[in-house]
Amino acid sequence: MSADNPIRPSQAANQQPLPTFRNSAYYGRFSCYASVMVPIAEGSERGYEETVTWNGAPVRAWVPHLLAGQDFEVSIRTARRTEQAIAAVWASGGASTSFEPLALLLLRAEGVASSYIEGLRTPLADVAAAEVGGTSNATAAWVADNLTAVRHALNGAGRNLTLEDIHEWHRRLMGLTGRLPEEMVGAFRTAQSWIGGTSPRSASFVPPPPERVEDLMVDLVDFVNAEWVDPVTQAAVAHAQFETIHPYGDGNGRIGRILIGWILAHRTGITVPPPVSVFIARDPGGYLAGLTRFRFGELDPWVEWLAAELQYSSEAAQGLMVRSEQLLEEWTWRIDDLRADATARLVLPVLFEHPVVSSDLVAKRVAVSERAARAALSTLAEQGILEPYDKATAGPGRPRRFWVASELIAMVTTWGPL
């Protein structure tokens, strides 16, 4: 997939009214921000090289220009594609709120796919188990932390962003991993970093020196809180700038993708943005090429690429929600001979939030005794809805027994590279 491929027609764009964004004075009568209606000539680099010293040797680092004062106008073609993307995002976000457990399913898909891009790959069932303390798989626990960071970020999308917010995302993502010294968790890096290679001298990219990070991030947050550019272009620019700054010692890719979702939620009012990382994971070459082209002044190709991914992921998310609702209906049919108020029936929606469950979790969620919860889980297992999860963490005392909704796990796994 590339920025030059045509975007598939969106039913959402044809059938749903366009959303009303905040600061609607900037919203033109053609349902497009005036700031993105004028074609521009591209080619000017959005940064410069600076010589830094690393281990006594000179190294060339890339320093992006501040976003303040830059022009982010895009072509009419790109503007139309951002409109299509936002219409799809809005339609998907509205549909996900109709059944709240599905919202968490989408957030989990985003968190797992974002970690997948960084090479953190573990079965989705193990990640779901890690969320409820059901596995000692360290990678699964780390991926689960990504979901925690995503949810925390979106909970704060109703107000303007601060640097401390981003630091908190980083703490929730990296705080329990042990991959960074404690003083580097939730704090900007204080040393020169690089991407690829064994040192900055052989790296594929060298971000700006640490002393420039604070000013660049203050400028980035100011841009993210502005409303003079359309949400898709804003998300594209902010994400590319964040990845260029590379402000943390680790976790930059996942934090940068959380930023995309935060901007979409903040600007459009949706509670669950589409899991764009699922589609980025399918085209890592296009993703990295887009970031590079942005740094060298090519705005339109990068915005078009991200707009396409947002539209595809939004439409796919709606498809996943339909399949999930169908699966819930099928499960309900399987236990149709049970009493209408049976605990087993109450457990079904919980499985979409927690595909791996235990009796104590179910007891709390549906307000029944653990004995009743155990009976309900056994009933669902008899109907083929649950299976024993055999990777549960062993601990002192009576072991907790976990169950997994394998059909749901399989459905989500085959939907994306999870």
- For every residue of 320-386, which 3-state class applies, written as one string? HHHHHHHHHHHHHHHCCCCCCCCHHHHHHHHHHHCCEEEHHHHHHHHCCCHHHHHHHHHHHHHCCCC
3-class secondary-structure state, position 401: coil
Backbone angles phi, psi at 155, to 5 degrees: -65, -25
Instruction: Give the residue from 132, 136, 167, 137 showing the smallest Cα distance to 153.
Output: 167
Sheet with strand 402-404: strands edge to edge: 356-358, 402-404, 387-388
d(CA 280, CA 271): 21
345 in Cβ contact with 335 (< 8 Å): yes
User: What does the mean pLDDT of the chain come to?
Assistant: 83
Per-residue pLDDT band for 380 (boundaries 50, 70, 90) equals very high
Model confidence at 210: pLDDT above 80: yes
Is 15-320's fold the same as 323-415's? no
Per-residue pLDDT, averaged over 242-248, amounts to: 97
Taking 70 as the threshold, does the pLDDT of residue 10 lie above it? no
User: CA 10, CA 89: separation in Å to the nearest integer?
Assistant: 11
- Higher pLDDT residue, 321 or 155? 155
- Match 């609702």 to its residue by tokens: 325
Lowest mean pLDDT among 45-49, 95-99, 380-384: 95-99
Query: Between 222 and 136, whose confidence is greater?
Result: 222
Predicted pLDDT of residue 360: 93
Average pLDDT estimate for 9-24: 35
Q: How much is the average pLDDT of 387-415?
A: 79
Query: Does residue 390 have a pLDDT over 90?
Result: no
Lowest mean pLDDT across 42-46, 119-123, 318-322, 401-405? 42-46
Beta bridge partners of 403: 357, 388
| pLDDT higher than threshold 90 for residue 91 | no
Summarize the confidence of residues 319-325 as an average pLDDT: 86
Q: What is the mean pLDDT of the segment spanning 133-162?
A: 86
Region of 82 please: left (phi>0), alpha (psi -120 to 50) or beta: alpha
Closest CA to 312 of 4, 10, 75, 83: 10
Greatest mean pLDDT among 41-45, 108-112, 381-385, 391-395: 381-385
pLDDT score, position 122:
81
- Taking phi first (over 0 means left), then psi (-120 to 50 degrees means alpha), and beta for anything else, what does residue 312 get? alpha
CATH architecture entry for 15-320 = Orthogonal Bundle (1.10)
Listed by start position, the domains of the chain span 15-320, 323-415
Q: Is residue 272 within 8 Å of 235, Cβ to Cβ? A: no
Q: What is the mean pLDDT of residues 344-353?
A: 92
Spell out the residues 6+ positions from residue 1 whose beta carbon is closer than 8 angstroms to its own.
279, 282, 283, 286, 305, 308, 309, 312
- Flag the least confident range among 191-195, 212-216, 229-233, 282-286: 282-286
CATH code reported for the domain at 323-415? 1.10.10.10
CA distance 152 to 136: 23
Better pLDDT: 119 or 308: 308
**Assessment of whether the complete model's pTM goes beyond 0.75:** yes
d(CA 240, CA 23): 24
**Pairwise pLDDT comparison (271 vs 396), residue with the higher score:** 271
Spell out the SS3 assignment of 160-211.
CCCHHHHHHHHHHHHCCCCCCCHHHCCCCCCCCCCECCCCCCCCCECCCCHH
Contacts of 114 (CB under 8 A, 6+ apart): 146, 150, 253, 254, 257, 258, 277
Phi-psi region at 410: left, alpha or beta (left = phi > 0; alpha = psi -120 to 50): alpha
Four-point Cα dihedral 317, 322, 368, 134, nearest 10: -40
> What tokens does 53 get?
């010293």
Is the pLDDT assigned to residue 395 strictly greater than 60?
Answer: no
pLDDT of residue 400 exceeding 90, the answer is: no
194-208, 263-277, 339-353, 354-368: the lowest-pLDDT one: 339-353
Lowest-confidence pick of 54-68, 121-135, 265-279, 289-303: 121-135
Please say if the pLDDT value at position 11 is more than 60. no
Locate all alpha helices (DSSP H) within 97-178, ordered by sequence. 100-117, 124-131, 138-155, 163-174
Pair 416, 108: CB distance under 8 Å: no
What pLDDT sits at residue 12? 36
- Of the candidates 231, 316, 130, which has an alpha carbon nearest to the alpha carbon of residue 223? 231
Distance CA 417, CA 147 (A): 16
* 13: its two tokens: 């764009």
**pLDDT in the model for residue 340:** 53
pLDDT at 391: 73
For 97, other C-beta atoms within 10 Å of its C-beta total 12
pLDDT of residue 25: 27
